[in-house]
Structure 1
Amino acid sequence: MLFVFAVICAFLHVSYQSPRSHWTLLPNILVVEVDGTLSQQPLSCIELPEELMRIGNQSQGIFWKKNGKEEAQRGNSYLVQLEESLGGGNYTCHSKDGSLLNHTEVLISEDETKRRKILVKNDQEHYLKCSTQNYNGEFQCSWTWHPSRVGKVAFIKARRVSDNNSVQCSLDSSSQQWVCFSDHSNFSCMVDDSGRGISCLDKQHCPYAEESQPIHITVYVRTKQFLVEDYSRHFYLSEIVKPGKVRIVKINSSVIEWSYPSSWSSPYSYFPLTFQIAQLRGECRRCNNPCTDSKAATTEMVHSPGICQFPVWHKAKVVCVRAKDAICDSQWSEWSHVSLRGSKKNRRHNKEEA
């Protein structure tokens, strides 16, 4: 009989291992790393010893709920049963009269080799697509949810790589903005209304100084099934800068004028742009964008410190203009275009687009 009991104990010991590791993402949010084996994660309802001593025998009356449904386990301690990716949820503990005493959200982080991605890669083979329209310290990152695993942002961490491990990140009282700060950086990030991107600002960035260290951004996303994954990118602003659309207007049938995007950093003499001008022989009425769907008759490059007037080819009917950083090898802006031979309706549309 003792032998059988020993075998059962040994089996239980092997079957229910402790998770590989666990850590706190935010107050009352626990991330548990699993590798597919059976394991258990203990939770405590009342953690302070003096508080536990104060209630004494009353702790036996504590009961637990998982996602609002009462569990069989009783007492101050609760063992979360983890099997493969299952076990995550909202765990609450209550006093005998039903009052809420504590709560813990358990998120599951699967082993990297077994993980099915919550996000999908973009055409640049990144999970996060990051860009900025200037050097003022603002940038945006977006992503694409996997069709069957749409979730939401659980946590954001942004810092300069040179910062030490003392970076602290928290969610503000409105639960809409994450703030990360250290001795050398101060970032704030907000999730877009679409839930598919974030906007961030490095409040201590100086646009007139050379960036000595790249930005490191990590976005933690979670699903309704309480799975959590993190995705990271690091970059200099100069590597992700993409100017906004150039403002372009028609002066007359042979001259156009353009100016720098309103979102671009100033002074323009310190942040110069290079412009590409494409002149089209005819209008493509069925095209979504004549600048990308039509072949240019002539193309020229122009360096301009500000507003520029440009004489166009006498046979041109559409002129397209785009810009890029003249110093760094940045991305080109989206094309802006103006019709030179269009109807009054087209001319009005061109003015509105500008």
Structure 2
Amino acid sequence: MSWFLLSVSMATFLMVATSSIGHGNTKFLMDNVLVLTVLHGSETSRVLLTCEQVHQDQDVFWKKDGEIQPHLKGHQINVEIWEVNGGNFSCHSSSSGQYLSHTLVLVQVQNGTMDILEGGRYKDALHCWAYNYNGSFHCKWTRTRSRSQAKVLMFKAHRHSEPLPCQLDSSTSEANCLDMSCSYREEQKHVHLSLYIFNAYKLEVYTKAFYLRDIVRPEAVPGLHSVGAKKFQWGYPESWQRPCTFFGLTFQVKLVDGDDSCSTNSFISTAETDASSYVADVDVSDFGFCVRAQDKHTRGLWSHWSSCRVIGGKAHCGPHDHQVT
């Protein structure tokens, strides 16, 4: 039997922590998952666990992480939690060894170090973006190298107390969410995110709040091509909303030397335009042409660059240049 049993029904198998003793408070975060909140610097806490009430007249023995604990017996037990060393506690019938119920005990340290995700407790631990204003947005996070096996317990999103549906990807490092609010309406309330993730029974909660308009980043402009050696044309991203007169884009173009990346701070020239074409005013025959898009009204995030390389007066337009974020 797997030690991680988050899918077990609360009605059937829930164990109840009736109190905590010592430095900490407890609450059930979800079915079978108990969170012990302790102050930074606390060494030990004691938690009272109770096997599901229907078994109160039976002899009971306990396991922690699958190992029998000879000193833990009976329908109700006090367990000592040392620092952040929680555990998965399961109770069993002493007559047959039958599994009865379990509780996963996680420890959250108030104002403690957060080291599961890159970025720590700061807002850049969760990276979120949207390709348009239709309400669909995406978030991702990166575990630190030493916490690469950390498990996501829960990811939640809401706006003004209304939950937003989200789905984790298979790697549990990204989530896709959908806000059904009208995209033509001015946003009045932030979207709030909470990621619950734990490593070796230490739970960390990462949060983020934003307006959708602040995370919209158009996809890279498609169809970039040359008309002759110095005129370039492109289109609107397919994912960008229509009509374009309402959700207009502005474009930044940059001319760079030779094989320089679009991200270089050394360039021949740069300009902005609302048109989907541009004539490069340059005297050299070898240069790079770069273009990226931005919402012209909110002046939000720029897309990744799209680029062409002109060699000997002939343009070669290839994959997008993703070196700029």
**Aligned to 1:221, what secondary structure does the other structure show?**
strand
> Structure 1 counterpart of 2:189, which letter?
Q
Give the aligned partner of residue 41 of structure 1: 47
Aligned ranges for residues 186-225 of structure 1 at < 5 Å? 186-202=163-179, 204-223=180-199, 225=200
Give the counterpart of 2:215 among 218, 240, 252: 240
**Aligned to 1:261, what secondary structure does the other structure show?**
coil
Q: Does 1:263 align with 2:239?
A: yes
Give the aligned partner of residue 303 of structure 2: 333
Residues 255-276 of structure 1 show CA distances to partners (whole Å, capped at 9, x for unaligned) of 2111112222222111101101
Rounded to whole Å, the distance in 1 between the matches of 2:21 and 2:265 is 63
Rounded to whole Å, the distance in 2 between the matches of 1:275 and 1:37 is 57
Q: Contact 1:30–1:104 (CA<8 Å) still a contact in 2? A: yes
Rounded to whole Å, the distance in 2 between the matches of 1:209 and 1:274 is 21
Give the aligned partner of residue 205 of structure 2: 230
Q: Contact 1:279–1:313 (CA<8 Å) still a contact in 2? A: no
> Structure 1 counterpart of 2:164, which letter?
F
Rounded to whole Å, the distance in 2 between the matches of 1:342 and 1:201 is 48
Rounded to whole Å, the distance in 2 between the matches of 1:283 and 1:193 is 41
Rounded to whole Å, the distance in 2 between the matches of 1:42 and 1:187 is 34
Give the aligned partner of residue 67 of structure 2: 69
Aligned-residue sequence identity (percent) comes to 31
Give the counterpart of 1:22 among 5, 10, 26: 26
Using the TM superposition, give the Cα deviation of residue 244 of structure 1 relative to its aligned residue in structure 2, in angstroms. 1.2
Give 4+ residue runs of structure 1 displaced > 4 Å after superposition.
351-354
Q: Contact 1:253–1:341 (CA<8 Å) still a contact in 2? A: no
Rounded to whole Å, the distance in 2 between the matches of 1:338 and 1:38 is 62
**Aligned to 2:131, what secondary structure does the other structure show?**
coil
**Aligned to 2:263, what secondary structure does the other structure show?**
helix
Give the aligned partner of residue 324 of structure 1: 294
> 1:309/1:111 Cα in 2 relative to 1: closer, same or farther (>3 Å)?
closer
Runs of at least 5 residues in structure 1 that lack an aligned partner in the other structure: 1-15, 164-184
**Aligned to 1:119, what secondary structure does the other structure show?**
coil
Q: Contact 2:306–2:319 (CA<8 Å) still a contact in 1? A: no
Q: Contact 1:321–1:335 (CA<8 Å) still a contact in 2? A: yes
> Structure 1 counterpart of 2:69, which letter?
E
Q: Does 1:272 align with 2:278?
A: no
> Structure 2 counterpart of 1:226, which letter?
Y
Give the counterpart of 1:90 among 85, 88, 93: 88
Give the aligned partner of residue 135 of structure 1: 133
Q: Contact 2:305–2:320 (CA<8 Å) still a contact in 1? A: no
**Aligned to 2:302, what secondary structure does the other structure show?**
coil
Residues 197-239 of structure 1 show CA distances to partners (whole Å, capped at 9, x for unaligned) of 322222x22211111211000111100x111010111100111
Q: Contact 1:158–1:216 (CA<8 Å) still a contact in 2? A: yes
Using the TM superposition, give the Cα deviation of residue 240 of structure 1 relative to its aligned residue in structure 2, in angstroms. 1.4
**Aligned to 1:126, what secondary structure does the other structure show?**
helix
Runs of at least 5 residues in structure 2 that lack an aligned partner in the other structure: 1-19
Give the aligned partner of residue 8 of structure 2: none
Give the aligned partner of residue 313 of structure 1: 281
Q: Contact 2:307–2:318 (CA<8 Å) still a contact in 1? A: no
Structure with the largest fraction of helix: 1
Aligned ranges for residues 333-352 of structure 1 at < 5 Å? 333-341=303-311, 347=316, 350=317
Rounded to whole Å, the distance in 2 between the matches of 1:264 and 1:40 is 55
**Aligned to 2:80, what secondary structure does the other structure show?**
strand
> Structure 1 counterpart of 2:103, which letter?
T
Give the aligned partner of residue 104 of structure 2: 105
Give the counterpart of 1:144 among 142, 145, 148: 142
